[in-house]
Amino acid sequence: MPIIRANSGVVTQINIFTVPEDKQEPLIELLAEAAEFARSTPGWISASLHRSLDGTRVVNYAQCENLQASQFVIERLRQEGFLERNKLLGAASPGLYEVVFALDR
């Protein structure tokens, strides 16, 4: 379950992929496979996938307990070839973030 709480120390990787319409679903399937793989990594918290309604973007919202855990997850995914496989389906724009403000109803 994602943690969206200010100043929690949680590091969130938000990766926005731009894809041809016929690659949206294959990328979602690959990212889900990568999340299942990363799930066993110490410090991993969650992954959430979002697809744009126009079929041209996929957003991967993944969280780890801290920066070190995030970097370890990314390195494991790189070593297993997931990052290279992602590139075959779309252009990625990744970044690491921390929540600084959140407001609920």
pLDDT in tens, 8-53: 999 999 999 999 989 999 999 999 999 999 999 999 999 999 999 9
Give the chain's mean pLDDT. Answer: 96
The answer to the question of residue 1 being in a domain is no
Query: Is the pTM above the cut of 0.85?
Result: yes
The answer to the question of residue 104 being in a domain is no
Instruction: Find the domain containing 19 and state its range.
Output: 11-97
Per the structure block, which two tokens stand in for 23? 């690659």
Residue with tokens 């973007």: 57
Domain count, the chain: 1
Q: Which pLDDT band holds residue 88 (cuts at 50, 70, 90)?
A: very high
Which stretches of the chain are DSSP H helices?
24-38, 67-79, 82-87
* pLDDT for the residue 1: 83
* pLDDT for the residue 86: 95
CATH number of the domain where residue 61 is located: 3.30.70.100
The answer to the question of residue 102 being in a domain is no
